[in-house]
Amino acid sequence: MAGSNGFSALLSLLVVLSCIIVGQSFKALLAESRQGNLVAGGLGSVVFAFTLTAISNLKMANAGPSAKCGLFECGVALFFGVLSSASIHRISITICVLFSVVLLFFLTGISHKRYDPSGDLSATTAGGGGKKRNDGFSSIGDNVDNILFDLAEDSTTIEQKRNGEDCSSDAFCARSPLSPPCLKCDFPADCSLGAPISVNCTLSEIVCEEMKNCSTNELSLHRTTCRAKSNVICAGRRTFFKNVRCHWTSGHSWSKALFLSITLGGFGVDRFYLGHWKSAIGKLFSFGGLGVWTLLDIVLIAIGYIQPADESLYI
């Protein structure tokens, strides 16, 4: 998934670069007429949309599919879109902003339909006769009432989902063990749309406490307490210890580091922010390696190669 997101981000950046090159190549022609100003504003909005797409894919490649773009990322993308339009004509700025707002509305709708996990799990896909591939548990949202046993959620579960609770957490599954996110099901490779299918589902038999106060790097192990669930019969102890990986963060934001690298990278601010102060001093006094070091750091931070100096994870 990370590779796919990285490739999508690269394609988006190539589209952004192409739009900027086209705009600058026909700058004189676009600036002399109203139609040209309209086209320049449209190019700026395309730069905004694909810059935001690139940032979103890079965040998902680094932080997983649950990462989302917020107001800060939208502001960065809009800055580049407005900048590309302003370099042609000032009237194009207004057009770029208007088009960008419209594009943001549609992008938000597309993202909500594709990634929002809070949809009603009891909905089934209408239609029939066609073929649909089920690759994993994510398909249960469309075919949940085709399963032979009842997976319907009660009102408490739905309310918890609306409040933003992680429905796949151990605490949630301990209270609602038959909820779809708590089950591991083996789906067939192919099935008919609308036709009932029989699948084998198993419940997790233990619940482990999540450690949030560990202070070591991500590759080290930390001991936590695990307990067998109430519906499991144990021959031995129901409570035991287990070593789990410790994922921790010191508050460094990937999007902020990338923004600092793009805007103030020539002064080494990005490396100062991440705690690499020795190389940051060298970057500062070399003026970003005359631009070469700055460009390299932008790419390395974007792909997640440069991490915080304390080996913590980005937020």
Amino acid letter for position 131: K
Cα angle, residue 283 at apex, residues 307 and 289 outer, rounded to 5°:
115
Write the pLDDT tens digit of every residue in 110-164. 666 655 544 443 333 333 344 444 444 344 344 433 433 333 444 444 444 444 4
Q: Place 255 in a pLDDT band, splitting at 50, 70 and 90.
A: confident
In the predicted model, what is the mean pLDDT of residues 244-269? Answer: 82
Q: What is the pLDDT of residue 279?
A: 87
Please state, in angstroms and rounded to a whole number, the distance separating the CA atoms of residues 303 and 59: 9
pLDDT higher than 70, residue 208: no
Dihedral angle sign, alpha carbons of residues 174, 176, 181, 187: positive
Q: What is the pLDDT of residue 143?
A: 41
Q: What is the pLDDT of residue 108?
A: 74
Residue 124 contacts residue 146 (beta carbons within 8 Å): yes
Residue 269 is given by DSSP the state H
Q: What is the pLDDT of residue 311?
A: 75
Please state, in angstroms and rounded to a whole number, the distance separating the CA atoms of residues 125 and 139: 10
Q: What is the pLDDT of residue 113?
A: 62
Least confident of 11-20, 186-195, 206-215: 206-215
Q: What are phi and psi of 244, to 5 degrees?
A: -125, 155
Least confident of 173-182, 217-226, 286-295, 297-306: 173-182
List, in sequence order, every residue forming a beta bridge with 242; answer none if it has no partner: 224
In the predicted model, what is the mean pLDDT of residues 254-283? Answer: 88
In the predicted model, what is the mean pLDDT of residues 22-45? Answer: 87
By CB neighbour count within 10 A (0-12 exposed, 13-18 middle, 19+ buried), where does 127 fall? exposed
Q: What is the pLDDT of residue 293?
A: 87
pLDDT higher than 50, residue 313: yes
Closest CA to 23 of 87, 113, 78, 68: 87
Residue 120 neighbours by CB under 8 Å, 6+ apart:
none
**Tokens linked to 227:** 């307990």
Q: Place 267 in a pLDDT band, splitting at 50, 70 and 90.
A: confident
pLDDT higher than 70, residue 64: no
Q: Where are the beta strands (DSSP E) in the chain?
A: 131-133, 183-186, 190-192, 200-203, 206-208, 221-228, 239-245
Q: What is the pLDDT of residue 247?
A: 65
Q: What is the pLDDT of residue 177?
A: 53
Please state, in angstroms and rounded to a whole number, the distance separating the CA atoms of residues 49 and 127: 34
Mean pLDDT across the chain = 72
In the predicted model, what is the mean pLDDT of residues 162-185? Answer: 55
Q: What is the pLDDT of residue 120?
A: 40
Most confident of 70-74, 206-210, 220-224: 70-74
In the predicted model, what is the mean pLDDT of residues 181-203? Answer: 73
Residue 85 neighbours by CB under 8 Å, 6+ apart:
23, 40, 41, 43, 44, 47, 92, 93, 95, 96
Write the pLDDT tens digit of every residue in 69-94. 777 888 888 899 888 888 888 888 88
Q: What is the pLDDT of residue 138?
A: 40
User: Which one is predicted more confidently, 148 or 36?
Assistant: 36
**Tokens linked to 65:** 């599919």
User: Which one is predicted more confidently, 160 or 225?
Assistant: 225
Please state, in angstroms and rounded to a whole number, the distance separating the CA atoms of residues 112 and 296: 34
Least confident of 45-49, 142-146, 257-261, 288-292: 142-146
Residue 241 is given by DSSP the state E
